[in-house]
Amino acid sequence: MSGAVRDACLGLASKDCNIEVYGIAPEKLKQFLSLRYGIDLVADAFGVVKIRHYPIDISISRRESKKGLGHIGFEVLSDPYVIV
């Protein structure tokens, strides 16, 4: 669940906008966005790109597989073609 969706469910005003995109490879997305905006790879392993100076996070759809114990025991694979 994204931060903006979580905030809405809790009745809170969101401080950012979370966008998930499909059908574009992570490198292509970064290349495309960097032509117009400064970008930061906040969580490259998770396929998340932050638009610098804007409260916008853009993520590639991803698959998560449980591989270990606890809340960090996941393997994450950005997959722009994942079927939801």
Q: pLDDT tens digit string along 10-27? A: 999 888 888 888 888 888
* Confidence at residue 31, expressed as pLDDT on a 0 to 100 scale: 93
pLDDT in tens, 57-81: 898 877 777 777 877 777 766 677 7
pTM, two decimal places: 0.67
State how far the Cα of 81 lies from the Cα of 45, in Å rounded to an integer.
17
Main-chain phi, psi angles of 33, to 5 degrees: -65, -35
Q: Answer yes or no: is pLDDT of 83 > 70.
A: no
Binned at pLDDT 50, 70 and 90, residue 43 comes out as low
Long-range (24+ apart) CB contacts under 8 A made by 77-80 are 78/26, 78/46, 78/47, 80/21, 80/22, 80/23, 80/24, 80/25, 80/26, 80/29
Alpha-carbon span 82 to 28, nearest angstrom: 16
